Amino acid sequence: MFKVAVIGASGLLGRALVDELAQQTGWQVVATAFSRLAPGTVALDIRDAQAVEQFVEREAPDALVIAAAERRPDVCEHDPALARALNVDAVRTLAAAANRRGAWTLSISTDYVFDGTHPPYQHDSAPAPLNAYGRSKLEGERALTESTDLGCVLRLPLLYGPIVSWAESAVTSLVPAIAASATPDGKPAVMDAWAIRYPTFTPDVAFVIRQMLERHARGDAIRGIVQWSGGEPMNKYEIALRLAEALQVGAHLTPQHTPTDATPRPHNCHLASSRLEALGIGRRTPFDTAIRQVLAVFPWRGAE
Ligand SMILES: NC(=O)c1ccc[n+]([C@@H]2O[C@H](COP(=O)([O-])OP(=O)(O)OC[C@H]3O[C@@H](n4cnc5c(N)ncnc54)[C@H](OP(=O)(O)O)[C@@H]3O)[C@@H](O)[C@H]2O)c1
């Protein structure tokens, strides 16, 4: 039996990962959550070092995937202590505990470790984060490598996938404004047309992580830093146009060509996925197909 612990199984990525791994015969999945506990999920506050150590000792996983984090840039900016506790210190504690048991740790990081001025970025390009979120995730990457020789960082860009609320993903969070703009007295929705993103489907990432776990199960664990990205560049205005088409609404959208965010964000952090591709790892569902799958199972009427 190959045992995988998914830390942060209640989140956008964690849920997709648990769904993917549950299909593997001969694998056992231990899922943890913090505030959103589903039946069968283990309660774990990753800021509690003793609880983390006891969890790893008790469950003795072969691999541990850290999908728990504080990933909202504005929250990280205003609460750097929380960002550090989740994105840096907890990674160190989890990876050190896993290392003591000889378990492989996969920690999820972000394209925001780069400043977005010179894409595409390779796994060994020089990081230069622009905001507190990116800085905390970069420190988390370093905490992982300092804490274990049996660890890997997987950097990802903007994620979308099956949701439990529109706000869960920066892709689907556009839907309420799109829907409101399509009502008879709706005002045009202003959408950022400056930053270039590569929306990446969480079931595809889960598939990639499963392939990575399979390599570890075969005794051929991937170490160091790897990156995975969807293949279609889009700004939010273009994402909104494609969402409106999928929703079949006549939205009124206005492109905003200069950045307006309070928290600085990079322009284009395209992540090269070549290290994983060279290992035969990867899957990219076309955006228009994937977003229709997401919208089909989440009722949007009334989003406005
Ligand atoms: N979303 C994106 O667009 C994006 C882009 C690039 C990289 N990433 C990275 O991908 C990873 C997954 O992100 P996500 O979007 O799936 O995040 P998410 O939906 O915000 O989920 C966060 C997870 O962290 C858990 N968590 C929060 N505080 C915790 C605590 N004190 N102890 C234990 N668990 C705690 C949450 O548990 P509860 O819900 O149960 O409280 C939840 O499972 C993160 O490392 C993120 O930085 C995300």
Residues 15-28: tens digit of each pLDDT = 999 999 999 999 99
Ligand 1 pocket check for 228: Cβ under 6 Å: no
Domain presence at residue 304: no
Residue 90 Cα: closest atom of ligand 1 = 32
How confident is the model over 41-63, as a mean pLDDT?
Answer: 98
Domain presence at residue 121: yes
Domain presence at residue 170: no
Span from the CA of 302 to the centroid of ligand 1 (angstroms): 27
Ligand 1 pocket check for 71: Cβ under 6 Å: yes
pLDDT the model gives residue 182: 92
Residue 13 Cα: closest atom of ligand 1 = 16
Domain presence at residue 124: yes
pLDDT the model gives residue 303: 58
Domain presence at residue 223: yes
pTM of the model: 0.97
Q: Contact, 99 vs 56, CB < 8 A? A: no
Q: Give the whole-number percent of the chain exceeding pLDDT 90.
A: 93
Q: Whole domain around residue 62: which residue ranges?
A: 2-161+199-232+269-285
Q: Does position 263 have pLDDT exceeding 90, yes or no?
A: no
Ligand 1 pocket check for 69: Cβ under 6 Å: yes
CATH number of the domain that 125 lies in? 3.40.50.720
Domain presence at residue 259: no
Give me the number of domains the chain comprises.
1
Domain presence at residue 257: no
Within 8 A by CB and 6+ apart from 103, the residues are 5, 56, 60, 61, 62, 63, 64, 150
